Structure 1
Amino acid sequence: MKINIVGAGPAGLYFALLAKKHNPMHEIQVHEQNPEGATYGWGVVFSDIGLSFLKEADAAFFEEFVAHHERCDYMEIVHQGTHVQVHGNHFSRTSRIDLLRVLRSACEREGIRIEYGRRVEDASALAASCDLLVAADGGNSAVRTQLAQHFRPSFVKRRNKFAWYGTNQRFHPVSLIFRETEHGVFIAHSYQYSPELSTFLVEVDPETWQRAGLDKASEDDSRRFCAEVFRPELGSHELLTNRSLWFEANIVSNERWSHGNIVLLGDALRTVHFSLGSGTRMAMQDAIALHNGVAAHPGDLPAALAAFEAKRRDASSSFQQSASRSLDWYENVANKMKLDPVAFAYDYMRRTGKVSHEDLRQRDPLFARACESFQTAS
């Protein structure tokens, strides 16, 4: 097959790699609008469940993929200054730059061409020049926008404000920090992803954001303000910026996943809110499912795309439902700030409805017993 892929992110590159290794006769070219080496954001997180899919799909690449990951087996919820640990939550973290570097190198070894600085202005014309066009060009997908009447996307903008920062303070566990201020509640999502750096995502509701004057603050003023809010955890370290502008989560879904020989993949297909930490995992699982569909139905693209959608649609809907419940929890966290730290952590862990008390008992018996003791005492 001749395959064009729009977007050199995890979804597009991983599909390219799997397809080419399975059939070296495929002619694959990746088109990326950004310059080579340009990436935004800090680190990405995989759960042990997410990594198991990658190991099963390509064990040799998996070893290369995880070689430089930072790992931990617990998380911390910081509430009222108390650090509540929840064990049995295995996380593997890496920088987005390193993730893309490893994928890019593997693709280039297989003879996959990656063209940078190329924005696709006419998706239909590009699709006409190949057997399969994979639109893996992110949440603001140009391909999806150009063919919106076919894919029928929908968008839900959530209310909370976010800013992505980094820091040299190393947060070994995945840490959720909740801080009450005179303006309202500030939340930090933080985790170490390299020997020197951690991601530090700040979240705040729009009313608190305005009361704190962040609606009028510059990028640097916002950085300094947020650093002071979380000074007890940051210590002498400052926050670092990389296009760290305030934004709202925009949740994307599509009624149709494919059109002719064009298929959506990753964030172009559906976004999963970062409070679940599963966006990159979902993108790479999409790549696995699309590859399996193409490999199972050689010469029959409609069947391949139907198999891909049958495999992934239910999982996609389930994750988006969980993400919606998680967002609801964060957007209403001010109502929970009076809870005891243990009760607060328990409420947090149960927020999506996907984690039962028995699940928590199996993951971390000590934490489960602490919750039971607290409920009995209450």
Structure 2
Amino acid sequence: MNVVVIGGGPAGLYFSLLLKQHHPEDHIVVHERNEAGATYGWGVVFSDIALSFLQDADPAFFKKFTAHHQRCDHMEVIHRGVAVPLRGNHFSRTSRIDLLRVLQDACTEAGVEIRYGSRVNDPAELPEADLIVAADGINSEVRTRLAEHFQPSFEVRRNKFAWYGTHQLFHPVSLIFRETEYGVFIAHSYQYSDEHSTFLVEVDPDTWQRAGLDTATEEESRAFCEKVFADDLGGHALLGNRSNWFQASVVQNAHWSHGKVVLLGDALRSVHFSLGSGTRMAMQDAIALCDAVCSHRDDVPAAFRAFEDSRRDASAKFQDAARRSLDWYESVDRKMHLDPIAFAYDYMLRTGRVTHEDLRERDPEFITRVEAAGNAA
């Protein structure tokens, strides 16, 4: 097969690698608009569940992929300056640039051709392709061009976000809630290398405006957030990298494919980062698409139908969980009266996918504290 992948993010690269491993005779080209080595953002985080899928799909790649990951077996919810540990939540973290480097190297070694600085946004320019994978991100140009066929929908959520990094090392995945004179500020933070942590700041639009961040420059916003979280940062600065404020957008598509074009990754469906599952979903989708293509080598439309049938239900469930999580964060000001234990308990139950008994199995000590305080649901 002659396969063209538009977009060199985790979804597009991982699909290319898997398909090339299964069918070395296929000619696979990845078009990546950025130059080699260019990436934006800081770290990415995987749960142990996410990693198990990758290990099952390709043990050799999994070993390379996780070689330099930072691991922890718990997370912390920090409310009123009190850190509540939540055991039994296993996470593995790495830098986004290292994630892409490992995928790029594996693809090149397998024989996938990656063309950097190559911007393709019209499948009509690729008449020689038997199959085209549009993995060009949440603002997919391919999806926009073929919108009448994919029928995408977009839900822009209300809270504001800014991505930062820091040299302060947050070993456990840490969720920090700080009350200020303007309102509540939230930080999603985790160590992803020996020297850096991701530090994602979240704030509701009213607080954001009251604090003057609606008119602040990128540098002024960074300095303001650094002051809000000064106690947590321990004297370390926040580091910027295109750290402009943005709002989360939930993307769905009524149809996942059209003709010989199929959507993948954030171009197909976004999962909010409050669940830490976006990259996981993208790479699971890549596994499913590869399986479908391998099972229907002579019938691309049948491969696309098999892919959608295998993944649409999981996609819908994750997006529903993401909405519940977003709802919780967007109304967190109504939770701030809770004591730290009750607050952490409420957080863990926010999506409806984790029960009281699930928490008892994961962290008996935490549930003992919840029940002793009379906070159990």
TM-score range, shorter chain: over 0.9
| Counterpart mapping for 1:304-343 below 5 A | 304-343=303-342
Q: Which is worse superposed, 164-173 or 113-122?
A: 113-122
User: Percent identity among equivalent residues?
Assistant: 67
Give me the whole-angstrom Cα distance separating, in 1, the residues matched to 2:134 and 2:375.
53
1:50 aligns with 2:84: no
Count residues in correspondence: 377
Alpha-carbon deviations, 1:310-364, whole Å to 9, x = none?
Answer: 1100000000000000000000000000001000000000000000001000100
| Counterpart mapping for 1:1-378 below 5 A | 1-126=1-126, 128-375=127-374
Contact conserved, 1:191 with 1:199, CA < 8 A, in 2? yes
Q: Which is worse superposed, 318-327 or 113-122?
A: 113-122
Contact conserved, 1:227 with 1:239, CA < 8 A, in 2? yes
Residue 35 of structure 1, CA deviation = 1.4
Give me the whole-angstrom Cα distance separating, in 2, the residues matched to 1:337 and 1:228.
20
Residue 155 of structure 1, CA deviation = 0.2
SS in 2 for 1:63: helix
Contact conserved, 1:123 with 1:146, CA < 8 A, in 2? no
SS in 1 for 2:3: strand
TM-score by length of 1: 0.99
Residue 302 of structure 1, CA deviation = 1.7
Contact conserved, 2:256 with 2:262, CA < 8 A, in 1? yes
Instruction: Return the letter of the residue paired with 2:27.
Output: E
Residue 10 of structure 1, CA deviation = 0.2
Residue 129 of structure 1, CA deviation = 1.8
SS in 1 for 2:373: helix
Residue 118 of structure 1, CA deviation = 1.3
**Structure 1 pair 377–88 and aligned structure 2 pair: CA distance change class (3 A):** closer
Detail structure 1 runs of 4+ shifted over 6 Å in the superposition.
none
Residue 377 of structure 1, CA deviation = 10
Contact conserved, 1:11 with 1:284, CA < 8 A, in 2? yes
Give me the whole-angstrom Cα distance separating, in 2, the residues matched to 1:377 and 1:98.
41
Contact conserved, 2:342 with 2:375, CA < 8 A, in 1? no
Instruction: Return the letter of the residue paired with 1:7.
Output: G
Give me the whole-angstrom Cα distance separating, in 1, the residues matched to 2:375 and 2:294.
55
Structure 2 unaligned blocks of 5 or more: none
Q: Which is worse superposed, 300-309 or 25-34?
A: 300-309
Q: CA RMSD in A?
A: 1.1
Contact conserved, 1:168 with 1:238, CA < 8 A, in 2? yes
Structure 1 unaligned blocks of 5 or more: none
Residue 33 of structure 1, CA deviation = 1.0
Residue 372 of structure 1, CA deviation = 1.0
**Structure 1 pair 351–314 and aligned structure 2 pair: CA distance change class (3 A):** same
Residue 124 of structure 1, CA deviation = 2.4
Give me the whole-angstrom Cα distance separating, in 2, the residues matched to 1:109 and 1:98.
16
Contact conserved, 1:252 with 1:269, CA < 8 A, in 2? yes
SS in 2 for 1:375: coil
Give me the whole-angstrom Cα distance separating, in 1, the residues matched to 2:347 and 2:362.
15
Contact conserved, 2:252 with 2:268, CA < 8 A, in 1? yes
Instruction: Return the letter of the residue paired with 2:32.
Output: E
Alpha-carbon deviations, 1:31-79, whole Å to 9, x = none?
Answer: 0111111111000000000000000000011000000000000000000
Contact conserved, 1:6 with 1:12, CA < 8 A, in 2? yes
Give me the whole-angstrom Cα distance separating, in 2, the residues matched to 1:183 and 1:165.
21
Residue 17 of structure 1, CA deviation = 0.2
Residue 366 of structure 1, CA deviation = 0.3
Residue 122 of structure 1, CA deviation = 2.1
Give me the whole-angstrom Cα distance separating, in 2, the residues matched to 1:377 and 1:77.
17
SS in 1 for 2:374: helix
Residue 125 of structure 1, CA deviation = 2.6
Residue 376 of structure 1, CA deviation = 6.6
Give me the whole-angstrom Cα distance separating, in 1, the residues matched to 2:281 and 2:115.
24
Contact conserved, 1:175 with 1:190, CA < 8 A, in 2? yes
